Amino acid sequence: MTAATRGVEAPGRAEVGARTLRTDRWWLPPAATTVGLLIFVVYATVRAFQQQYFFADERYLTPFYSPCVSLGCASEPGSAHFGMFLPDHPLLPYAAISLPFLLAFRLTCYYYRKAYYRSFWLAPAACAVPEPHATYTGETRFPLILQNVHRYVFYIAVIVSVINTYDAIVAFRHPTDGFVVGIGNLVLLVNVVLLWCYTLSCHSCRHVMGGRLAHFSKHPVRYRIWTWISALNTRHATFAWITLGTLVATDLYVLLVASGTITDLRLVG
């Protein structure tokens, strides 16, 4: 089919002339999404391969290095809570067993799919704005059919969230000072709470917990869980962005403390 007969210019449809008549700044949300996602990707890539400043003496482990399972983690004693077995190689991030899944979790997330289909692939950039592609097959073929693995990476993301939670909790126990609360502890805690909000508000989680049932009334507990998750789910996009921000902020905080740029403020102990 030629470009002239595609879409809103297909034969039989009103010959309006303009491809879109939208007068608002429809390009702004996809542009902002692009910028936001790119900033995160660049920052996260740099940090994942940096292999230093990931663990502060205050026992703060950045989520980008959790779980720290590379032999290289030995450079920061106490950072590896689950053993060290991956070879120490500059191209292998220290948290190489979790990062690919976290990436996959966000890549296949129903919200992020919308975000990058709109901003990177322009399919569509905004509602009622024609997309530039000649053909469209949606998520029916490889590779996009792989989006269906979302629920597996969700299962793994839950495990990683548990590990992050463990990291945040053990950080309260200083090897010498006992129970402590520093600003960094609060940062880790807030980050982990918001990560749970993002993870549990996932559409797959909502489905697995109760959405797949035909009769809620026969499963009162799962129905209640489904109701809670549904309420969280309405804010899934918000949590998706907030957690990108808190991940960067948490990591940056650990980086700054670990590099000695700033000093963590001890509140308790």
Partner 1 sequence: MTYTARLRVWRGDAAGGALTDYEVDANEGEVVLDILHRLQATQTPDLAVRWNCKAGKCGSCSAEINGRPRLLCMTRMSVFEPGEVLTVTPMRTFPVIRDLVTDVSFNYAKAREIPSFTPPPDLGPGEYRMKQADVGRSQEFRKCIECFLCQDTCHVVRDHEENKPAFAGPRYLMRVAELEMHPLDVADRVAEVQDEHGLGLCNITKCCTDVCPEGIKITDNALIPMKERVADDRYDPLVWLGRTILRRGSRQARE
Q: Smallest distance, Å, CB 105 to partner 1?
A: 15
DSSP string for 46-61:
HHHHH-SS-EETTTEE
Burial of 228 (0-12, 13-18, 19+ CB in 10 A): middle
Nearer to partner 1, 36 or 211 (CB): 211
Q: Does 2 bind partner 1 (CB under 8 A)?
A: no
Contact 168, 188 (CB under 8 A): yes
Here's the x/- map for partner 1, 193-212, by CB under 8 A: it reads as ----------xx-xx---xx
Q: Does 21 bind partner 1 (CB under 8 A)?
A: yes
Among 77, 78, 87, 138, binds partner 1 (CB under 8 A): 138
Q: Does 1 bind partner 1 (CB under 8 A)?
A: yes
Single out the segment in contact with partner 1 by CB under 8 A; choices: 42-50, 130-138, 181-189, 254-262: 130-138
* Phi, psi torsion values for 50, nearest 5 degrees: -65, -40
Q: Smallest distance, Å, CB 100 to partner 1?
A: 19
Residue with tokens 């919200």: 111
Q: Smallest distance, Å, CB 234 to partner 1?
A: 7
- Pick the closest to residue 188 from 249, 139, 127 (CA basis): 249
Q: Does 164 bind partner 1 (CB under 8 A)?
A: no
Q: Does 214 bind partner 1 (CB under 8 A)?
A: yes
Contact 25, 231 (CB under 8 A): no
Q: Does 13 bind partner 1 (CB under 8 A)?
A: yes
Residue with tokens 């990476």: 153
* Phi, psi torsion values for 178, nearest 5 degrees: 75, -145
Give the torsion sign (CA, 236, 238, 241, 247): negative
Q: Does 117 bind partner 1 (CB under 8 A)?
A: yes
Single out the segment in contact with partner 1 by CB under 8 A; choices: 51-59, 87-95, 124-132, 178-186: 124-132
Structure tokens at 99: 């990062």
Nearer to partner 1, 115 or 192 (CB): 115
Q: Tell me the angle at which helices 183-200 and 220-233 cross, rounded to the nearest 10 degrees.
A: 110
Among 43, 84, 88, 113, binds partner 1 (CB under 8 A): 113
Q: Smallest distance, Å, CB 137 to partner 1?
A: 7
Integer Cα distance of 184 and 81 in angstroms:
18
Structure tokens at 157: 């993301």
Q: Which residues are near partner 1 by CB under 8 A?
A: 1, 5-8, 10, 12-18, 20-24, 110, 113-114, 117-118, 123-124, 127-131, 133, 135-140, 144-145, 148-151, 203-204, 206-207, 211-218, 223, 233-234
